[in-house]
Amino acid sequence: MYQFSRTIYRELAPYVLEDKPSTQLESNRELVLRECEAAIERLMMDRRYFARPSRSLFNNVRPYFGIGDLPRVFFVIDRNVTFALDFLRRVPEYAFDATGIERSCQAMTRKGLPCQRQPLPASEYCPSHQHLDDSFEELLELAA
């Protein structure tokens, strides 16, 4: 996923405004890079709860570009985020996430504790809580 954030940054770097306020410690380029990395990392970690990643990243980096460059900035961000989403859909999910942490079921037990079982490969829930994933998919279909 590192490649996606760096691709966005490399395409946008020539258009970043060089002005840096005296109160700002980092340069504008560093801030744009940090925002790109944070957005792609969030996309990788909790894609289900990141509704509009392109728009979110665009709104975060918009102050660092001139008004005339904003359409190009949005196009670059949207195209690369779409590529990242397609990549994430094609990659199978394993027992560990990208940071090496073992995946666990996202449901809560009756005692209010997080479920400790490992989720199914194509889901965020274990076999005991699989019904929670089905209801979410049905809601998405009804909304569409």
Q: What is the DSSP string of 29-60?
A: HHHHHHHHHHHHHHHHH-GGG-S-HHHHHHHH
Helix locations, 22-144, DSSP H:
28-45, 53-61, 70-90, 130-143
Of the candidates 78, 84, 85, 73, the residue with the CA atom closest to the CA atom of residue 54: 78
**What is the pLDDT at residue 67?**
94
| Stated pTM of the model | 0.66
**What is the pLDDT at residue 99?**
56
Q: What is the separation of C-alpha 132 from the centre of its chain, rounded to a whole number of angstroms?
A: 22
Domain boundaries, the chain: 2-90, 106-144
Average pLDDT for consecutive 10-residue bins of the chain (144 residues)? 89 88 82 93 81 93 94 96 87 56 80 86 80 66 70
Cα–Cα distance measured from residue 16 to residue 107, given in angstroms and rounded to the nearest whole number: 42
